[in-house]
Structure formats: C-alpha cells, structure tokens
Structure 1
Amino acid sequence: MTLKYYQDNAQTFFDGTVNVDMSSLYETFTRHLAPGAKVLDAGCGSGRDAKAFLEMGYQVEAFDASSAMVELAREHTGLPVQVKAFADVDWKEEFDGIWCCASLLHVPAEELPDVMRRLADALKPGGVWYVSFKYGDGEREVDGRRFTDMDEVGLWRLLETVPRVEIESFWTTHDKRPERNEVWLNGILK
C-alpha cells in the first residue's frame, strides 16, 4: 500500500520535500560525525538529505524501497541510490552514521524490532543514528500510506529490543514544510 503510494506519487512527493530546510536537524546529527564519515540515508525519499551530507563532505550511501523515488533521488544526488527495503538491510558495522528521517514510520510496528536490529548491525561501534516518527502512539492509514506513530515511551520500548543502542536525546519539532502542522519525535541514538 505505502510503496504503491510512492510509486504513483513520486514526483509530487519529490517536489514537496526536496527543498525543505533541514539544516537544524542535520546539525544535531553531524556534530557526532568525524569529517569524511560514512553515512547511510535509509529510506532516502527525494535524496534531499543524502545530497546535503554529500555536500558536507561525507561518504554517502542511500536507499529507498520505491524504484520511482530512487530514480528521482539518483538524478538529484548523482549517487548510485539503491532500491532496497528495510527488511533487506544486511550491512555489518559499515556506517559511522545512519539517517532515518521520516522513513521508519512506514514500517509496521510488529516489524520494527527486526528492522531496528538490522540497522543497528549496520552501524559501526560508537556510531550515531538519527530517527524521526510522527508523534503519537499506534498505527494508522492515511491516503494510501500506513504510519507507525511513536512517542517517547514507544521509542524507549522499541529500543529495549535493540542490543547496544541507546537514546542519547529525543525532542519534538513541528513539520518543516510550511503547509503542514504535524509534530515529529526526533531521536539521536548511539
């Protein structure tokens, strides 16, 4: 269902997200990274964040489950963005940082522990990981997309299933898109 939404609406989604200023969130993530660190943009959508990290001098890999989004992200970033689902992540201690901006929220709650463990395995020891979810508790469907919302308690519980990863900080923000009024839960994990 969600994949079909992004396949059918890739250009509209790209146009609505590619120019959103995320610099304040980048700073909370990149201050934990050494110059030239290797970063994974997991569920990269338009490629906006992958391109920003590349321009900051990081080594960047990116993937998204939607082949239509991947095509647009490749054009936008110049990177060899992969078509990959979270369930297919199999890297081992490969990345200094993992960026999951508004992407894990599409994973069904029952699948999140496995996906989180897969991503944790891809993170080098001492690495940093950014996650964001729409603020709330529970699962829902909106206009052909499914969402797993998360609050602080939910994130704590989820991370109890992921060995070696802990929350460094979490905070809420308002959607960076001017026409949206949603609240987001953001987390820095280590």
Structure 2
Amino acid sequence: MTLNYYQNNAQTFFDGTVNVDMSSLYESFTRHLSPGARVLDAGCGSGRDAKAFHEMGYQVDAFDASSEMVALASQHTGLSVQQMTFSDVDAQQQYHGIWCCASLLHVPAQELPTVIQKLANALKTSGIWYVSFKYGDGEREKDGRQFTDMNETSFRTLLQSTSEVEIETLWKTHDKRPERDEIWLNALLTKR
C-alpha cells in the first residue's frame, strides 16, 4: 500500500520535500559526527538529506524502497541510491551515523523491533542515529499510506526491544513544510 503510494506519487512527493530547510535537524545530528564519517540515509525519499550530508563531506549511502524515489534521489544527489527496504539491511558496525527522517513511520508496529535491531547492528559503537515519527500513538492509514505514530512512551517501549541503543535526546518539532501543522517526535540515539 505505502510503496504503491510512493511509486505513483514520486514526483509530487519529491517536489514537496526536496527543498524543505532541515538545517536545524542536521546540526543536532552532525555535531556528533567526525569529518568524513560514514552515514546511512535509510528511507531517503527525495534524497534531500543524503545530498546535504554528502555536500558536508560525509561518506553517504542511501536507500529507498520505491524504485521511482530511488531514480529521483539518484538524479538529485549524484549518488548511487540503492533500492531496498529496512528488512534488507544487513550491514554490521558499518556506519558512524544513521539518518531515518520520516521513514521508519511507515514500518508496521509489529515489524519495528526487528527493523530497529537491524539498523542498530549497522551502527558502529558510539554511533549516532536520528529518527522521527509523526506524534501520536498507534497505527493508521491515511491517503494510501500506512503510519505508525509514536509518542515518548511508545517510543521508549519500542527501544526496549534492543539493549544496544539509548536515547540521547527526545524532542518535538512542528512540521518544517509551511502548509503543514503536524507535530513530530524526534530522537537522537547512541549505540553502547
């Protein structure tokens, strides 16, 4: 369902997200990274963030599940964006940073613990990991997309599925897109 949405609406989604100013969120994340660090943009969508990190001098790997989004992101970033899902992640201790901006929210709640573990495995010890979810609690469908919303309590409960990561910071923000009024739960995680 969600994949079909992005396949059929890739250009519209790209156009609506590619120029959103995410610099305040980038700063929260990148201050934990050394120059030239290796970063994974997991569920990269338009490639906006992968491009920004690449331009900052980081080594960036990016993937998305939608072949249409992969094509647009590859063209936008100049990077070799991979088509894969979170379930396909099999890297071990490979990344200094992982960026999951508005991407994990499409994973069904019952699959999230497994996905969290796969991504935790890909993160180096002491690595930093940014995640964001629409603020709320529970699963819903909207406009042909599946969402798993999180609040502070449900997110802390989710993280109990892996002992390797802990919350560095947890905060709420307003949607960065001017026409949207949604609240987002943001988290920076570190790997022990």
- TM-score bracket relative to the smaller structure: over 0.9
Q: For structure 2, which runs of at least 5 residues remain unmatched after alignment?
A: none
How many residue pairs align between the two structures?
190
Counterpart residue type for residue 67 of structure 1: S
Q: Is 1:118 equivalent to 2:97 in the alignment?
A: no
Whole-Å Cα distance in 2 between the matches of residues 75 and 50 of structure 1?
A: 12
Structure 1 SS opposite 2:25: helix
Aligned to 1:20: 20
Residue 163 of structure 1, CA deviation: 2.1
Q: Is 1:134 equivalent to 2:134 in the alignment?
A: yes
Q: Is 1:59 equivalent to 2:59 in the alignment?
A: yes
Counterpart residue type for residue 98 of structure 1: I
Q: For structure 1, which runs of at least 5 residues remain unmatched after alignment?
A: none
Structure 1 SS opposite 2:163: coil
1:61-85 Cα deviation digits (max 9, x unpaired): 0000000000000000000000000
Q: TM-score, normalised by structure 2?
A: 0.99
Aligned to 2:74: 74
1:123-172 Cα deviation digits (max 9, x unpaired): 00010000000000000000100100000001100111012100011000
Whole-Å Cα distance in 1 between the matches of residues 162 and 187 of structure 2?
A: 15
Aligned to 1:100: 100
Structure 2 SS opposite 1:167: strand
Counterpart residue type for residue 100 of structure 2: C
1:9-65 Cα deviation digits (max 9, x unpaired): 000000000000000000000000000000000000000000000000000000000
Structure 1 SS opposite 2:110: coil
Whole-Å Cα distance in 1 between the matches of residues 184 and 46 of structure 2?
A: 19
Structure 2 SS opposite 1:111: helix
Counterpart residue type for residue 3 of structure 2: L
Whole-Å Cα distance in 2 between the matches of residues 164 and 83 of structure 1?
A: 27
Aligned to 1:10: 10
- Aligned Cα RMSD in Å? 0.3
Residue 186 of structure 1, CA deviation: 0.1
Aligned to 1:88: 88
Whole-Å Cα distance in 2 between the matches of residues 32 and 158 of structure 1?
A: 23
1:75-123 Cα deviation digits (max 9, x unpaired): 0000000000011110000000000000000000000000000000000
Whole-Å Cα distance in 2 between the matches of residues 29 and 173 of structure 1?
A: 15
Whole-Å Cα distance in 2 between the matches of residues 183 and 64 of structure 1?
A: 24
Aligned-residue identity in percent: 73
Aligned to 2:160: 160
Counterpart residue type for residue 145 of structure 1: R
Aligned to 1:109: 109
Q: TM-score, normalised by structure 1?
A: 1.00
Counterpart residue type for residue 175 of structure 1: D
